[in-house]
Structure 1
Amino acid sequence: MTNFLIKTVANAAALLVAVWLIAGITLTGEDTGRQALTLVLVALIFGLVNFVVKPVVKLLSLPVLILTLGLFTLVINALMLLLTSWLADVVDLSFHVDGFWAALLGGLIISIVSWALNMILPDDD
């Protein structure tokens, strides 16, 4: 359970960095508390999407991943971020990604920040 909470906090921090750096990724809310709650809920959705959908997409796109030497993973990350944005809109969370290019840059930033935070934060394994 602790590992799940740590990964969720790392995802939330990575999403926050992407919101700060990419103009096409927005997080709105009335106050800071509501924005923080929205960010945690979006991080949970993002984690669920990455846990359930991403492995299936990677398996189905395996020939393209091999052909591009893994660079297609950036496109998959962008698609997962767009799916997260769409699901956040469905459940009425104020998180939005404006298009593929914002999602591509956001996915790259989220991957780098998540990797760095997971290296720093403790792990139960």
Structure 2
Amino acid sequence: MSRFLARVLIAALGLWLAASVVPGVSYAGWLDLLLAALLLGVVNAIVRPIVFLLTLPLTILTLGLFLLVVNAAMIGLVALLLPGFTVAGLVPGILAAIVTGLVSWVGQMALGDGRSD
């Protein structure tokens, strides 16, 4: 449970950083940011695998770069479902996906894989 909360907080940190450095990404308050991080986790667990499979040929054709568009679409879906979190278009969504992905990657490296040695 604590790893789950840590991952939500890391995602919230990534979304906060994206809102701070990417024009066109904003949030109304900290609660909206935490809800956006939680909802992004749910969307990434349920919707993203389906979208990934449907767009797999295009992802292969673009050598994986289309995954940025898929990730931006997931952040856009969160913005659509949560009124306190907004993304102003595709380019801010892609930039937010890059920032959030980098922060999540660093956070995952800091958390480790969860296995006890």
> Does the CA contact (< 8 Å) of 1:46 and 1:80 recur in 2?
yes
Aligned sequence identity (%): 40
Structure-2 residue corresponding to 1:66: 60
TM-score normalised over the length of structure 2:
0.92
Aligned mates of 1:82, 1:53 — CA distance in 2: 12
TM-score normalised over the length of structure 1:
0.87
User: Deviation string for 1:49-97 (max 9, x for gaps)?
Assistant: 11100000001111111111111100101101110100102xxxx1111
**Structure 1 residue corresponding to 2:77, chosen from 83, 95, 101:** 83
> Does the CA contact (< 8 Å) of 1:42 and 1:95 recur in 2?
yes
Question: Displaced runs of 4+ in structure 1, greater than 4 A?
Answer: none
Structure-2 residue corresponding to 1:44: 38
Could you tell me which runs of 5 or more consecutive residues in structure 1 were left unpaired when the two chains were aligned.
29-34
Q: Give the alignment's Cα RMSD to 1 decimal.
A: 1.1
Matches within 5 A, 1:1-125: 1-28=1-28, 35-89=29-83, 94-125=84-115
